[in-house]
Chain A
Amino acid sequence: METIFTDVLCIGAGLAGERVAIEAASAGFDSICLSIVPARRSHSSAAQGGMQAALGHCAMGEGDGPDIHFVDTVKGSDWGADQEVVRLFVDRAPEAVREMAFWGIPWNRVVPGPSTYFKGGKEYEKVEATEKEGFITARDFGGTAKWRTCYTSDGTGHTLLYTMDNKVVELGVTVHDRVEAIALIHDGETCTGAVARCLKTGKLKVYLAKATVIATGGYGRIYRETTNAVINDGGGAIIALDTEVVPLGNPEAIQFHPTGIVPTNILVTEGCRGDGGTLLDVNENRFMPEYEPEKEELASRDVVSRWMTHHIRQGLGVKSPYGDHLWLDIRHLGEHHIKTKLREVEEICNNFLGVDPITQLIPVRPAQHYTMAGVRTNKDGSVYGLKGLFSAGEAACWDMHGLNRLGGNSLAETIVAGKIVGEKIVEFLQGYEVQYNTGAIRDGVIRQQERIDDFISGKNGNENVYEIRNAMQDELMERVGIFRNGRDLQKAVDNLQEIYARAQKVGLRSNGIGVNPELTLALKIQGMVKLALCTAYGALQRTESRGCHAREDYEARNDRDWWNRTLATWKEGDDLPTLNYEPATETVELPPAERGYGVCKIISCDGEIIGEE
Chain B
Amino acid sequence: MARKLHFNIFRYNPQDPHSVPRTDSFDLEETESMTLFIALTRLREEKDSSLQFDFCCRAGICGACAMMINGRPGLACHTLTKDLPNEITLMPLPIFKLIGDLSVDTGTWFRAMYEKVESWVHTDKEFHSMADEERMDNALAEEIYELERCIECGCCIAACGTANMREDFVGAVAMNRLARFIMDPRDERTEKEYFEVIGTDEGIFGCMGLLGCEDVCPKHLPLQDQLGILRRKMGWSAVKELFRFGK
Shortest beta-carbon distance from B229 to chain A in Å: 18
Q: Is A603 an interface residue (CB 8 A)?
A: no
Contact B49 A517 (CB under 8 A): yes
Most buried by A among B61, B115, B187: B61
Whether B138 lies near A40 (C-beta < 8 A) is: no
A135 engages B133 (CB within 8 Å) = yes
Interface size class of A (residues with CB under 8 A): 35 or more
Per-position binary interface string of chain A over residues 121-162, scored 1 when its CB falls under 8 Å from any chain B CB and 0 otherwise: 000000000000111110000000000000011010011001
Residues in B with CB closer than 8 Å to A169 are: 111, 114-115, 119-120
Q: Flag if A109 contacts B129 (CB, 8 Å).
A: no
Asked if B127 CB lies within 8 Å of chain A CBs, one says yes
Q: Is the CB of B129 within 8 A of A508?
A: no
Assess A352 versus B107: contact at CB under 8 Å? Given A104-B186, A109-B138, A515-B15.
Answer: no
- In the complex, what's the smallest C-beta–C-beta distance from B125 to chain A, in angstroms? 8
> Which residues of A from 343 to 401 have beta carbons under 8 Å from B?
343-344, 347-348, 351-352
For the complex, what is the distance from the CA of A517 to the CA of B120, rounded to whole Å?
34
Q: How far is the CA of A42 from the CA of B14 in the complex (A)?
A: 26
B138 touches A134 (CB 8 A): yes
Q: A46-B57, A135-B133, A166-B120 are in contact. Are A159 and B145 (CB under 8 A)?
A: yes
Nearest Cβ distance between residue A18 and chain B, in whole angstroms?
13
Q: Is A177 in contact with chain B by the CB < 8 A criterion?
A: yes
User: Residue of B at shortest CB range from A230?
Assistant: B55
Any A CB within 8 A of the CB of B141: yes
Q: Quick check: B14 and A98 within 8 Å, CB to CB?
A: no
* Interface residues as binary, B42-69 with A (CB distance below 8 Å gives 1, 0 otherwise): 0011001111101111111111100000
Contact A109–B135 (Cβ < 8 Å): yes
Question: Which of B32, B45, B141 is in CB contact (< 8 Å) with A466?
Answer: B45
List A contacts of B130 (CB < 8 A): 95
Q: Are A38 and B110 in contact (CB under 8 A)?
A: yes
Contact A514-B100, Cβ < 8 Å, known A109-B136, A158-B149, A178-B107: yes
- Tally of B interface residues using CB under 8 Å: 66
Q: Is B134 an interface residue (CB 8 A)?
A: yes
Chain B, Cβ-Cβ closest to A95: B129
Chain B residue, CB-CB nearest to A109: B138
Contact indicator A109/B49 (Cβ below 8 Å)? no
Contact indicator per residue, chain A 172-216, by CB within 8 Å of chain B (1) or not (0): 000101100000000000000000000111100000000000000
Task: Indicate whether A45 reaches chain B with its CB closer than 8 angstroms.
Answer: yes
Q: Say yes or no for A119: interface residue by CB 8 A criterion.
A: no
CA distance A340 to B55 in the complex (A): 27
CB-CB < 8 A to B144: which residues of A?
Answer: 106
* Residue B33 is within 8 A (CB to CB) of chain A in the complex: yes
Contact (Cβ within 8 A) B99 A41: no
Instruction: Give the complex CA separation of A486 and B119 in angstroms.
Output: 54
Residues from chain A with a CB closer than 8 A to the CB of B176 are none
Q: Which residues of B contact A136 (CB under 8 A)?
A: 133
CB-contacts of A22-40 with B (<8 A): 37-40
Contact among B44, B49, B51, B141 with A106 in the assembled complex (CB-CB below 8 Å)? B141
Complex CA distance for A107 and B145, rounded to whole angstroms: 8
The answer to whether A513 touches B13 (Cβ under 8 A) is: yes
A98 touches B133 (CB 8 A): yes
A472 CB contacts on chain B under 8 angstroms? none
How far is it, in angstroms, between the C-alpha of A499 and the C-alpha of B63 when the chains are bound? 34
Confirm or deny: A510 has a beta carbon within 8 angstroms of a beta carbon on chain B.
yes
* Closest residue on chain A to residue B33 by CB atoms: A263
Q: Which residues of B contact A344 (CB under 8 A)?
A: 61
Give chain B nearest CB distance to A457 CB in angstroms: 16
User: In the assembled complex, which residues on chain B have CB atoms less than 8 Å from the CB atom of A155?
Assistant: 145, 148-149
Determine which of B50, B59, B106 lies in contact with A266 in the assembled complex, contact meaning CB atoms within 8 Å: B59
B137 within 8 A of A: yes
Verify A106–B50 contact, CB threshold 8 A. no
Within 8 Å by CB of B148, from A43, A103, A162, lies A162
B30 within 8 A of A: no
Extra contacts besides A41-B64, A175-B111 (15): CB < 8 Å? A37-B56, A39-B107, A41-B57, A45-B62, A46-B57, A106-B140, A106-B144, A153-B142, A166-B120, A169-B114, A177-B107, A344-B61, A466-B45, A513-B16, A517-B52
The 25 sampled A-B contact pairs (Cβ below 8 Å) are: A38-B107, A38-B110, A38-B152, A101-B133, A102-B121, A103-B121, A104-B121, A109-B138, A109-B141, A111-B138, A152-B148, A155-B145, A159-B145, A166-B114, A166-B121, A169-B115, A178-B99, A199-B99, A348-B60, A351-B78, A352-B33, A466-B45, A510-B50, A514-B14, A515-B103
The 6 closest A-B pairs by CB, nearest first: A514-B15, A134-B135, A38-B107, A510-B50, A518-B49, A106-B144
